[in-house]
Amino acid sequence: MLLRGYGTAGPWGWLTLLLVACVTWASEITFELPDNAKQCFYEEIVQGTKCTLEFQVITGGHYDVDCQLEGPDGSVLYKEMKRQYDSFTFTASRNGTYKFCFSNEFSTFTHKTVYFDFQVGEDPLLFPGENRATALTQMESACVSIHEALKSVIDYQTHFRLREAQGRSRAEDLNTRVAYWSIGEAIILLVVSIGQVFLLKSFFSDKRTTTTRVAS
């Protein structure tokens, strides 16, 4: 599968393009989407081909992003705003270049990490003659079953890795907030303690001044 990326992400956009160029053989890509940026990918698809687009925001902000899929004629096939994850399946109605974009333009200071899996067409046959009219042998049936089970295992592993990465990001963000809150409390406690010391000193200082005046 050939994916081509284009965006308005500045230096991050070039990094993403380099990443795409290095993994054009794969359908799964994880990339950085900076704040106030948009990243698009393009795919040449033949009419009648079944395709599936699945994406998930791993880190950043409220874990949401805008996604839009357009056909060769510019028609919008799919559009969702501020989604954390979603999956969309469609069949190409014509030959041409299909474009799907991820946008973080609504965020002014938070960048995101986005994962997407774009599958085009069906998997190749496991072995020649799989679609023949005669029944499969016991060995062939076992191979097909194992192959399907392994595909499911790969999908589950991918989703678990994404959840683990998202959970780790949330934990690190929470840890950072707790650390900042603890530092703030320590500073406030120190300021209050120093203030109390000076306040008590001022009380005793006023008492000594009054006693001296009375004695004189």
What total of structural domains would you count in the chain?
2
Express each pLDDT in 110-139 by its tens digit.
888 899 988 888 777 666 665 655 666 778
If asked whether residues 95 and 144 sit together in one domain, one would say no
How far are the Cα atoms of 7, 112, 162 from residue 64, in angstroms, in the given order? 18, 8, 14
If asked whether residues 164 and 110 sit together in one domain, one would say no
Q: pTM higher than 0.75, yes or no?
A: no
Looking at residue 20, what is its pLDDT? 37
How far are the Cα atoms of 103, 179, 181 from residue 32, in angstroms, in the given order? 11, 26, 28
Is residue 73 included in any domain, yes or no? yes
- Concatenate the DSSP letters of all residues of 68-90 into one string: EEE-TTS-EEEEEEEESEEEEEE
Express each pLDDT in 93-116 by its tens digit.
899 999 999 999 888 888 888 999
If asked whether residues 41 and 113 sit together in one domain, one would say yes
Is residue 213 included in any domain, yes or no? no
Is residue 9 included in any domain, yes or no? no
Is residue 56 included in any domain, yes or no? yes
Task: Please name every residue paired with 6 in a beta bridge, in sequence order, or none if there are none.
Answer: 40
Is residue 6 included in any domain, yes or no? no
Give, rounded to a whole angstrom, the gap between the first and last alpha carbons of the chain.
99
If asked whether residues 108 and 174 sit together in one domain, one would say no
Residue 114: give the domain boundaries.
Answer: 26-122
Task: State how far the Cα of 4 lies from the Cα of 101, in Å rounded to an integer.
Answer: 11
If asked whether residues 162 and 104 sit together in one domain, one would say no
| Bridge pairing between strands 76-83 and 65-70 | antiparallel
